[in-house]
Amino acid sequence: MVHPAHFWVDKTVLVAGATGFLGGWLIRALLQQGAKIVSIVRRPRDQSQVSLRRLLGQTTVEKGSVYDGDFIKGLFDRHAVDVFFHAAYGSDVNRVLEEPLECFRSSVESTWLILDTIRQRRPSCISVISSSDKAYGTQPLPYRESGGLTPMHPYEVAKASQDLAAQSFGKIYDLRVAVTRCGNFFGPYDFNFTRLMPSACRSLANGESPVLRSDGLATRDFVYIEDAVEAQMLLARRLAEDPTLNWEAFNFSYGAPIEVREILRRISALSGKNLEPVLTDSVRSEIRHMHLSSEKAARLLRWKPRVGLNEGLRRTVDWYANYFQGGSDLGTSELAFVRQSRT
């Protein structure tokens, strides 16, 4: 067994979704562990951690689309990929309703294509596919991996299809692939201001009450982004050690569902503003209550979150407060984006 501290040294790791929230944190962690990273970038995104911290310059950038067959085949011809992380396409519900086909292409079509390319060109490659807790749809709580997937919303269907495609390829072609189904990510460097926590932190920084698209009574299960990244990397390492984990799906969350309005109250209190959220109840087609069991990950992977909800919230609120104040740890490009974000 390779010691975790040395596993990633000189491994060639392909990251799809490099300019996204999860992808940026993955690249940051992998660089710290000594990996050689190949980043798939469809189009540059200044509003991303990899751009603001200039992390892309420390990787090999491949410009193209995850569902472009010629591009993907050429990429695997150029690089002997050891580990592949699929972190493309985030969970912006409104964006999916506006462009459902793009969601299916980026999630499902890309997974079939890349895993088929791995089957033909790099069958020893370890693949970790990021599905979502949304793939479960509406069913009895808590969600367990042994339960079925009952999606309805286009995003839910896309993630469930991606999830099943990954498991199918693994089982039929004996690939080293597994799936993660995580609770709601949160943490620094999330620049999607349609999402709960970035939006709330920006409002509070401006002295305004956070605005909710719902009545605030829906419950969500959360996981801090660094805990989520460690879970992804742990799963890849364990796949290298234990072939019985191939084709499996794993939940990762804190297993502590909280009302959305309560999360906002905690954020407001941590910010020192103590402003009550404004409830609008304008949301469409979202699951009312979500709760994951991570017992399987704890038992088979020995996963235990290092940060946790309370500390994660504190880190998140502190980072955004510093960010919107133009803190001294921010670079010139970040400070420029702060000015844009305030408008």
Residue of 97 and 245 predicted with greater confidence: 245
Q: How confident is the model at residue 274 (pLDDT cuts 50, 70, 90)?
A: confident
Q: What is the pLDDT of residue 89?
A: 80
Spell out where the chain has E strands.
Answer: 12-16, 36-41, 60-63, 83-86, 126-130, 176-182, 184-186, 211-212, 219-220, 222-224, 249-252, 258-259, 278-279
**Neighbour-count burial of 330, counting CB atoms closer than 10 A to its CB (0-12 exposed, 13-18 middle, 19+ buried):** middle
Contact 237, 300 (CB under 8 A): no
pLDDT in tens, 239-265: 999 999 999 999 999 999 999 999 999
pLDDT of residue 57: 95
Q: Domain residue spans in the chain?
A: 10-257+281-341
Q: What is the mean pLDDT of the chain?
A: 91
**C-beta separation of 229 from 26 below 8 A:** yes
Quote the tokens at residue 216. 């605030």
Q: Which two tokens stand for residue 213?
A: 């698209």
| Residue 323 near residue 337 (C-beta atoms within 8 A) | no
How do residues 39-55 score in pLDDT, each as one tens digit? 999 988 888 999 999 99
Instruction: With beta carbons less than 8 A apart as the criterion, state whether 38 and 60 touch.
Output: yes
Query: Which pair of structure tokens corresponds to residue 80?
Result: 């002997």
Helices of type H across 181-329: 196-205, 225-241, 260-271, 295-296, 309-324
Share of the chain above pLDDT 90, in %: 81
Give pLDDT tens digits for 149-189: 999 999 999 999 999 999 999 999 999 999 999 999 999 99
| CATH code for the part of the protein at 10-257+281-341 | 3.40.50.720
Decide if 323 is catalytic: no
- On the question of pLDDT at 92 being above 90, the answer is no
Distance CA 314, CA 325 (A): 17
Q: Of 25-29, 66-70, 132-136, 191-195, which gets the smallest average pLDDT?
A: 191-195
Q: Which of 136, 155, 254, 320 is catalytic?
A: 155
For residue 141, what is the DSSP state?
A: S
pLDDT of residue 300: 98
Distance CA 331, CA 275 (A): 30
Q: pLDDT band at 284, cuts 50/70/90?
A: low
